[in-house]
Amino acid sequence: MVRLPLRLPLTILEEAMTVTLYVCITCRAGETIGEGEATPGKRLHGAILDAGVPDGVSVVPVECLSACSQGCSVALSAPGRWSYVYGRLSEAHANDVVAGVAAYAAAPDGLVPWRSRPEIFRKQSLARIPPIAVVPEAAE
């Protein structure tokens, strides 16, 4: 078990609070990709960056989120918050993904009211994963 010190430098705490959007750049979304062509996942990643990501959000390209049959996929998480995996996406959804990420980042617990979520986040969620519990160090 990893035990964290009780006092962490502010920069570490700020980094730990960062919301991370993982974008699968190897998703093919059923397309045949020619030599040197960008995958649909890589195009989605580029479109998300072009759309502009809110402060406090890191966009991390990853290879496979195990949702390969579900079009392009992304995952959203932050320490102490529920994590979500969304699928059936394309680069055309980049602005909606960014809007959903912004709402998630702005919600202190990451729980965005249903009606405030973009439609793709309401209808294209593949998984919802509970926050990982931080076990406090036992008193001696």
Which residues of this chain interact with ligand FES, rule CB under 6 A?
A: 24, 26-27, 41, 64-68, 73
Per-residue H/E/C for 69-83:
CCCEEEEEECCCCCE
126, 87 contact by CB (below 8 A):
yes
CB of 100 to ligand FES, least distance (A): 18
Measured from the CB atom, the residue of 63 and 140 that comes closer to ligand FES is 63
State which residue, 26 or 95, has the beta carbon closest to ligand FES.
26
- Name the token pair of 31: 């397309």
- CB of 65 vs ligand FES, minimal distance in Å: 4
d(CA 92, CA 100): 14
Residue (49 or 62) nearer to ligand FES, CB: 62
